[in-house]
Structures are given as structure tokens and as C-alpha cells.
Amino acid sequence: MRYFFFLPAWACLCLLLLTDNYLQAQTNTSWTPDNGDGTFKNPLMWGDWPDPDIIRVEDTFYFVSTSMHYVPGCPVAVSQDLVNWKMAGYAVPRYEEDPRYNLEGGNMYLSGSWAATIRHHNGLFYVGFCTPDMDGRKGHFSMCTAKNIEGPWTRTIFPEYLYDPGLFFDDDGKVYVAHGQQKLFITELNSDALSVKTPRREIYDNRDYPYLEGSHMYKINGKYYILGSTGGTKGRQVCLRSDNVYGPYESKVVIKDDHSYPGNGLHQGGMVQLKNGDWWFIIMQDRGPIGRVPNLEPVTWVDGWPMLGVNGKGVDTFPKPGIGKSYPVTVPATSDEFNTGTLGLQWQWNHNPDDSKWSLSRRQGYLRLYAGKARQLADARNTLTQRVEGPYSEGTVSLDLSGLKPGDVAGLGVFQSPSAYVGVRCKGKNKELIMVNNDSTVTVLPYTASKIWLKAMVQEKDFTAAFAYSKDGQHFRTIGNALKMGLGLDWTANRFALFLFNTDMTRPESKGYADFDWFRR
């Protein structure tokens, strides 16, 4: 099946401009849902922010997502108006429970944090998530707590496995987690929400709702509501309702719509009430290799059921939530000049980093990566990543190669499975420019300069990524062939990646390093 897209004028400016096989400088603007006229458009964030949940604390909204094997985990974003968002931090600094999170003795791809839940109670933020079974290792549930959303966070690992959890504080002081897949359960926690009080009790099982999951729980006007997703990627959103926390529950489909991305329905997310009494829902939609993308939907109560969107359809453009104030356009950060003591919050490492092999202080204004041993990019520690975006996004990096040693490979990639990258490899006393696609070297060119500028360009419309390089930072030449982006690592999107690793397994540990001056979007 072929899809034809007619791009708005701003997107056309972002298309590749080729002249004599050179790529000219262009403007790349991050996606924003704020139309600047009191309305917004979906998607809310056109990137991989899966399994959303949301709360309001006074005048501020907090959004949590999950991030599998990327570190730090469980990104938390903040907004004043539900439309304009920025990063606030992460609930999980790193994963310490298995050496495979350090890429030692294996890997933990697709493990880590799944389906996060966020709540605020008695002055504490709570973020819970599940970690699924991996290679015979029993899954578990984690609860992270912090007084401030920026952290520091304290993580407690439960021996119990609560799949796709929805944390709920009842008004009688009891604490529950709704969880499960198709068969749903309620597990009561102790009052501090840091351990299980009573074993799980099954509350619902309906074969008409296969893979019913992603439960989030609420109490509204004396009734208990559990909202979850059924049908996976093609899904729909279901609401369960009962007068008792343990049921029986009646059910209703509250949205079944895929018009904005045919074949993939709106499914799984969280609901929040404004101060004025209005309700809104943030719900995700799978958009292939770009990721699981959140949409913002109004909620209309009909006969006691929260119906999403308008007339059964998700909204494309709609008036912004009525919070009574206007806020400036804000989007999560992307570019980083590496001139402060900390990485921008947009960055996540592939698995736990080796903190002895990266630095923002060894050379002021640069990110320095030191080379570790790896046969391919997927095995390399200290690969630094951030989301790609639709409908078009590009990342450009300035890289100093002076510190490379024989066997080192440094560069810029688009990371998933398959991955592709453009980089410079040190071979003996010489350097060579290479483009690698799906672990196969496509192009090899001699390269003698000590600096290089690299660019990766991602198109959402056909899920391709192209690569280019420059010797002066102004004129870019395309290299190699296009990556057909895929999802070999299920449920995670493609990402821009900065990396350095050493492929020569016959030599001692490399003392090479690469200095990244900046990354710009």
C-alpha cells in the first residue's frame, strides 16, 4: 500500500535540497502542537513518548512515559497548559539489579521500565512501573518516590510482578494497584505504597477485550473507573466502572478511532481533571518506527462514561484546555552545546553508561567519549541517544577526531534494529570515512582531516534515514544508502545516537577518545 502526503509549507523547507550531490544548510524546527491562536493540533509530541500517564498538582501537569532499556528511565515532563511541555527529569537514574544492564554477559534490550504510572499523595510523587520476564528471569514491579519532580528519586523493587500498573490512592486511606493483561487484578499496598499488603484479587476477565492492559484507576463521584487499552497496536480504549473497588465492573468502549494513522488506533493513556472541572485524556498511537506518539483528547461525560474525542473521533485541531491563562510555546529540548556540567534532559544512554568513559569536563564545551570494546553498535556502551521526530527531523554533530586510536569508530547513527550510521574509523595510522547500514559497511572513503561534521535526516512519511558529511560544516555531501527504519526492538522507536567504540578485539583496551562539540536539531 502506498501513502501520499501533502506537506505544509514549513515542512517543505525541511526537505533535502540537493545541488551537485551536496546538501545545503537548512532549517529544522521541532514539532509543536500549539497553533498560537488558542488552538492545538495532534499529535501532542510527534515522537516516542509511550504509555503516557498524567496528573495535575495545583496548577501544574506532570506526564510520565516509559523507555525500556534506555537510561535514565521513566522520563517525566511538565506543563502548565497540557499543550506545551518540557522535560523535568527521570524517575530511574540507572538499573542496578542485573549486570546485563551494563552490557556485561548479555543485554537487557526491551527490559527496564514498562507502562509507568504517576500519582502525587501527601507531598510525594510516586512513579511505578513493571519490568517484564526476561530470559527466564522473573519480572517485578518498582515504585519510585520523590519530594520534587526533579528528584532525587528513591526506587523500591517489589518481589511481586504487577503488569502494566495503575496506582490509586483511595479517599479512605487505602492504596491499590490495578494491573494485568486481559485478566485484571487489584493488589492492595500498604499505606506508604512501598510494599504489598494483601495478595492480588482477580476483578475482570473478558475475552471480547484481548490484551486488555495499561490500566489506570480513578474514583469519580463515588464510582471506581479503570481505563485500559485492548487490541494492541490496532487498539481501542475501554472503560470499566463499578461501585466497589473489587467489582463487579461493567464496561464500555470510549474511543475506537484510527483516522489520523489508518490501521493503528488511539489506545492507552491517562486522564486528568482541570481546576474548572473539565476532563482531558492523553492517549498514544503507534506510528511505526517513529514511535508511540501521544495525542491530547477532550473528554465528554455521557451517562457517567468518559467519552474521548468528539463524536467518537480523535481531534485533529481543537481549542486548548481552559486553564484561564496563556503560556508561551514550549517543546522538549533537542539540541545540546555540551557547555554545561550536565547533559541535556533529552539524552538517554543505551543501557547503563560506564561513567569512567565519558566526560563533560575533560575538555570544556565538549562531550568526550572514551572507546570501549564492541563488535557492533548494538554492543557498545555509552551510546548516547535521543528521539527522532515526525514529520521530518535531522541531527547534526560537530566531531573532533584527534583522539582516535587504531580500531576506534566514532560517529552519528540512527539506532534501532536495524541501525545505520556515518562515522570515522581509525585504521592503523590512517582514518577512513565509513557508512554502515544494518551492520554492513556500504561506503569507505579516505579521510585525513581532524574534524568532521555529520548529519542524519529522518523522514516519517517513508520511514527512511539518510546520512551526510561535511569537511567545513557548511556544505554536506550525502553518503551511502538510506536506512529503512524498522522495529526489530519491539515497542521502541528509532533514535539519533552519538557513539565511540573499538572493534579490534586483539588489542588491549583502547585509550582513544572522541570529542563531540555540539549536537543540533
The residues annotated with a catalytic role in the active site are: 51, 213
Half-sphere exposure of 138 (CA within 13 A, CB side): 8
Amino acid in position 86: K
Helix (H, G, I), strand (E, B) or coil at 41: strand
Residue 36 burial (CB count, 10 A): 9
What is the four-CA torsion angle of 182, 310, 33, 494, rounded to 10 degrees?
30
Q: How far apart are CA 483 and CA 495, in angstroms?
A: 13
Q: Judge contact between 211 and 185, C-beta under 8 A.
A: no
Cell of 6: 501533502
Cell of 349: 544512554
Helix (H) or strand (E) run with residue 10 in it: helix 9-12
Q: How far apart are CA 277 and CA 275, in angstroms?
A: 5
Which DSSP symbol is given to 83? S
Strand partners, 166: 178
Residue 135 burial (CB count, 10 A): 10
- What is the DSSP track for 279-312? EEEEEEEE-GGG-EEEEEEEEEEETTEEEESBTT
The residues, ordered by sequence, that sit 6+ positions from 252 with a Cβ below 8 Å of its Cβ are 238, 239, 241, 305
The CA-atom distances, in angstroms, between 6 and each of 3, 9, 516 are 10, 9, 36
- Give the residue among 190, 182, 247 at the shortest CA–CA distance from 215: 182
Q: Which residue has the cell 588489542?
A: 507
Q: Where are the beta strands (DSSP E) in 147-244?
A: 154-158, 166-169, 175-181, 183-189, 196-205, 213-220, 223-230, 236-242
What are the phi and psi torsion angles at 112 (to 5°)?
100, -120
Strand partners, 306: 301
